[in-house]
Amino acid sequence: MKYLVTSATGDLAFQSVQFLLTLVNKNDVVVTVRDLEKAEKLKVLGVEIRQADYLDESSLVEAFTGVSRVLFISSGDLSSRARQHRNVVNALISANVQFVAYTSAPKADQSTAIVAPDHKLTEELIMASGLNYAFLRNNWYLENEGMLFDAIEQKQPFVYVTGSGRAGWAKKSDYAEAAARILAGVVPSKLIYELGGQPLTYPELADILQGNREEKIALIPESAEEYAEQLKSAGLPEEVIGFIIGIQKDIKNGQLDVPSDDLEVVLGRPLTELTI
């Protein structure tokens, strides 16, 4: 049986490949990459590398041919993601893939989060395809909180606009290992896995990350408008500011507040401690 991980030069996908290699034979692992020149770290692992582009459906069909189970890593290109994902699903069908695990978003079928529409569409396409599937609805990566990490390390105040909203932060490595275990079929089978950590507010997260440090940073709640002006003053592009503010509003509105023990169950252990 062949197992394939898409977009394998990306951090989540690459870590998933590493975990997958502890679960199945190396000769059964295939990856796709868009740029072969960026695949050196995959060559070191000794896996089969196939070139494919989400925008080129024929390349995807060729890459998926002969593969039984696919980990479909969602695209990070928000401007063309819907078209890319439609190509991937069409290719999975054409190549007669047996099973696909798709990295989605929390409660994608009912979420109003800014990242949710493409995930909802992709889930619908997969459900209509006739493929066996699992949706890996990843909550939020702790590694996304670089500005909070910097504030703690530099002992500077941290501004947030999420109010009492909560998110289910977990380490990216935990999400990657869970994806590999689901792809390998070594966990209880489910159609939907709501993957994430215990939902926390930003002050609760900051308290955990600071641990026993004597000097705690100040956390300053502000309005979205005030925060946007600060980001603009820092020189961030408008589209980046819009995305950051959008995510913060989603957290404030409870879109990432999804209590679930699915991640622990899939891993078969407690989640990795939240640390900087």
Would residue 24 count as lying in a domain? yes
Would residue 159 count as lying in a domain? no
Residues of the chain above pLDDT 90, percent = 92
What total of structural domains would you count in the chain?
A: 1
Residues 200-221 have pLDDT tens digits of 999 999 999 999 898 999 999 9
Would residue 221 count as lying in a domain? no
Would residue 119 count as lying in a domain? yes
Would residue 214 count as lying in a domain? no
Domain residues for the domain of 110 are 3-139+171-195+259-267
Would residue 113 count as lying in a domain? yes
Would residue 41 count as lying in a domain? yes
| 3-state SS track over the chain | CCEEECCCCCHHHHHHHHHHCCCCCHHHEEEEECCHHHCHHHHHHCCEEEECCCCCHHHHHHHHCCCCEEEECCCCCCCCHHHHHHHHHHHHHHCCCCEEEEEECCCCCCCCCCCHHHHHHHHHHHHHHCCEEEEEEECEEHHHCHHHHHHHHHCCCEEECCCCCCECEECHHHHHHHHHHHHHCCCCCCCEEEECCCCECHHHHHHHHHCCCCCCCCEEECCHHHHHHHHHHCCCCHHHHHHHHHHHHHHHCCCCCCCCCHHHHHHCCCCCCCCC
0.95 exceeded by the pTM? yes
CATH number, domain containing residue 112: 3.40.50.720
Would residue 51 count as lying in a domain? yes
Residues 131-172 have pLDDT tens digits of 999 999 999 999 999 999 999 999 999 999 999 999 999 999
